[in-house]
Amino acid sequence: MTPLNRTTFLPALAALMIPLAIGMIFFYAPLERSMGIIQKIFYFHLSLAATAFLSFFVACISGIMYLLRRQRIWDARLAASVEIGVVLTTLVLISGSLWGRPIWNTWWTWDPRLTTSLILWFIFASCLILRSAVDEEGKRASYSAVMAIIGFVDVPIVFLSARLWRSIHPTVIRSEGIGLESSMLITLLVSIVAMLIFWAALFRLRCSQHLQENALRDLQQQLQH
């Protein structure tokens, strides 16, 4: 596979998979009996949440690797994954509110799952603010790495919150199995795969852009000297 093909493969695959997932959500998956059409948000909501968790996991691993090796590539991966994760978590909170309004009769409630998700958003949004506030590259990367590692602690708390505390948030994965019929489960899996491919394409693009920004910054400093 040529470099050009490697660059365009993931975006092209995402461009195919995302419309397929949307088509399955609206035309293949059946209507849920009690919630009706509003339940369709579930497929978007869960796919966004899964890739947001992946983003913060990658940020945590990248932070650990940067502290161990002090290589720019790991800081670029951390920055890219945090940026994507914050955007995805924002969409998770918005889609959750749209889903919850007709079901819970409120846009927001301080449910354990919602509260811990909001805390997660604040942690990594603060990481982005920190990166923009620190000019020195080494300090910015180190501070971001520590914050990403500590912030990831909230991810399993978010995932387990509906089980650890009394919550009105629905739980898909239960002790007795996944509470979905086959067509819904297939649609959900296709939606998650589509989001993962889109995530991978976006992650690769942002990593490349961060590395190019660093190279350009080095060139400017060389010219100044």
pLDDT digits (tens, 9 = 90+) for 78-119: 999 999 999 999 999 999 999 888 888 888 888 888 999 999
One-letter amino acid of 67: L
- Start-end of H helices in the chain: 3-27, 41-69, 72-104, 112-133, 137-151, 154-164, 182-224
CA distance 143 to 134: 9
| pTM summary value | 0.90
pLDDT digits 0-9 by tens, 111-147 = 888 999 999 999 999 999 999 999 899 999 999 999 9
Please, what is the average pLDDT of the chain? 89
Query: Among residues 62, 79, 212, 206, which one has the least CA distance to residue 140?
Result: 79
pLDDT of residue 178: 65
Q: What are 18's two structure tokens?
A: 């995302």
Domain extents in the chain: 40-169+185-224
> Which residue shows structure tokens 């991966």?
77
Residue with tokens 């948030």, as numbered in its chain: 169
- Say how far apart CA 190 and CA 200 lie, in whole Å: 15
* Minimum mean pLDDT range among 13-22, 44-53, 156-165: 156-165
Higher pLDDT pick, 177 / 214: 214
Of 199, 207, 215, nearest to 73 by C-alpha is 207
Predicted local distance difference test score (pLDDT) of residue 4: 53
